[in-house]
Amino acid sequence: MSHHAYQQSKELMSKDWDFSALVMAAMKKADSANTVLLRSIYPRIWAELVQRYNAPGGYIGDEVPPEEGNYSDFIKGDGKV
């Protein structure tokens, strides 16, 4: 890890993102070896990521898309996307 990566981690923490969102982002960004590791540690998050990837707009179950242009209002509600 570099000093730059450490500074980026501090910036991410200041945004107060949901833990599962950070793990999903890490899974999408990871190389093959790290993807295997993350999948083995967080199988439920991986399953949801795959499900959302394959769902129209990433919406699953009874989730309803927000009105167009109100995405930020949607994620402020309960922190879930």
In the structure, what pLDDT confidence band is assigned to residue 79 with cuts at 50, 70 and 90?
A: very low
Residue 3 lies in a domain: no
- For residue range 24-38, list pLDDT tens digits in order: 999 999 999 999 999
Which residue range is the domain that position 43 belongs to?
17-58
Residue 22 lies in a domain: yes
- In this structure, are residues 81 and 74 in contact, taking their beta carbons and an 8 Å threshold? yes
Residue 24 lies in a domain: yes
Crossing angle of helices 43-54 and 19-29, in 10° steps, is 70
- In this structure, are residues 81 and 21 in contact, taking their beta carbons and an 8 Å threshold? yes
For the chain, the domain total comes to 1
Residue 71 lies in a domain: no
Q: What is the pLDDT of residue 71?
A: 53
Residue 42 lies in a domain: yes
Residue 73 lies in a domain: no
In the structure, what pLDDT confidence band is assigned to residue 73 with cuts at 50, 70 and 90?
A: low
Binning the chain into helix, strand and coil, the percentages to the nearest 5 are 70, 0, 30
- For residue range 17-67, list pLDDT tens digits in order: 899 999 999 999 999 999 999 999 999 999 999 999 999 889 998 888 876
